[in-house]
Amino acid sequence: MAIDELKKIKDDVPFSSPVDPVELGPDDEIQFRCHRDIACFNACCKNIDIQLTPYDIVRLKRRLELSSSEFVGRHTTPFPMDHHDVPGLKLNTKPGTSECVFMTEEGCSVYEDRPAACRYYALGSMGVRKKDSAQVDDIYFIVKEDHCLGHQEPRTLTVREYRSEQGCDEYDQHNREWRDIILKKRSSGPTVGAPSERSLQLFDMCSYDIDSFREFIQTEGFGDIFDLDPRTMQDLLADEDELQQFAFRFLKQVFFGVMTIPVKEGARERRIAQSRRLRERLREMSEDE
Ligand code: SF4
Ligand code: SF4
């Protein structure tokens, strides 16, 4: 099934695709090596189209000592990830070029914190949910672009070894819950309908603006609804990675009703009554005018 999808990707594109439609598992071998002395050094960073994940953003903003919103504002461009305009972010290029903003003549200036997409290359991956199963399995495939000479280097290693060398597992682990939200949203199809404006804003904040999310969980509005004990709150405020995982749980609760964060008794009813009062007040004001 997955292999058919890969072939379809290759068949559908109107030009020669670099995707090799051979499905690879973690123990399959690949031939590849990238290093500073290779003739094509930096070629892949000169023509980028990189979608960022939430963990990419916290790693990069910490490295550059920026707030999450500063990083997003300076170094990313928004794009709609699907027909419901679920927000995605792409890494910026240098003005007037397709070169990555972080590329220098000496190589990647953020190498230790480079995004997941840069770590995967030249492996592609795809999460596939088997029919009637909640489990998502990863399959891999090789991407062979003409400019990349790494495929001609005399080194073979397994997909697992390559991913471990590139630090992919750590990134996957941090992004797993988020990716699950995206897959769930896609597989729920049109029956669920378009998310509200408010839901999209929450998705944006939980995915890409961890500093605003930290402030959000300390607001009165959040505290009116969610029942977090002081110790949990303290731990979340002290550990940004934990906070990000909590943000994904929050999203799952809001989007899909997966209840993992305790809610205060009667909170929903109080919230509805409050909204009703606000709507009535607004109507009265518009009638007065
Ligand atoms: S972040 Fe680094 S590795 Fe990734 S495209 Fe930019 S320069 Fe290349
Ligand atoms: S071998 Fe491939 S991945 Fe490495 S620098 Fe060259 S083009 Fe980029």
Ligand 2 atom nearest to 39, measured from its CA: 6
pLDDT by residue (tens digit) across 53-81? 999 999 999 999 999 999 999 999 999 99
pTM: 0.86
pLDDT by residue (tens digit) across 104-116? 999 999 999 999 9
pLDDT greater than 90 at residue 17 = no
Nearest CA to ligand 2 atom 5: 41
The pLDDT assigned to 276 comes to 76
Of the pLDDT bands very low, low, confident and very high (cuts 50, 70, 90), residue 275 is low
Question: Which residue is associated with the tokens 């509005």?
Answer: 221
Q: Are 195 and 86 in contact (CB under 8 A)?
A: yes
Of the pLDDT bands very low, low, confident and very high (cuts 50, 70, 90), residue 120 is very high
User: What is the dihedral angle through the alpha carbons of 107, 113, 116, 122, rounded to the nearest 10 degrees?
Assistant: 30
Ligand 2 atom nearest to 121, measured from its CA: 3
Question: What spacing in Å lies between the alpha carbon of 65 and ligand 2's midpoint?
Answer: 28
Q: Are 203 and 250 in contact (CB under 8 A)?
A: no
**Mutation choice for ligand 2 from 108, 118, 146, 149, CB with most ligand atoms inside 8 A:** 149
Cis peptide before 122 (omega within 30 of 0): yes
| Residue-wise burial string across 13-26, b where 16 or more C-beta atoms lie within 10 A, e elsewhere | eeeebbbbbebbee
Proximal ligand: closest to the CA of 111: 1
pLDDT greater than 70 at residue 247 = yes
- 288/86: higher pLDDT: 86
Q: Looking at 71-75, 99-103, 133-137, which range is the least confident one?
A: 133-137
- How far is residue 217 from each of residues 58, 210, 275, measured CA to CA in Å? 18, 11, 20
Q: Looking at 8-12, 127-131, 248-252, which range is the least confident one?
A: 8-12
Ligand 1 atom nearest to 117, measured from its CA: 4
Which two tokens mark 270? 């109080």
The pLDDT assigned to 12 comes to 47
Average pLDDT, stretch 78-99? Answer: 96
Which residues, in sequence order, are CB contacts of 261 under 8 Å at separation 6+? 226, 228, 246, 249, 250, 253
Which residues, in sequence order, are CB contacts of 163 under 8 Å at separation 6+? 26, 119, 120, 123, 169
Question: Which residue is associated with the tokens 């953020």?
Answer: 110
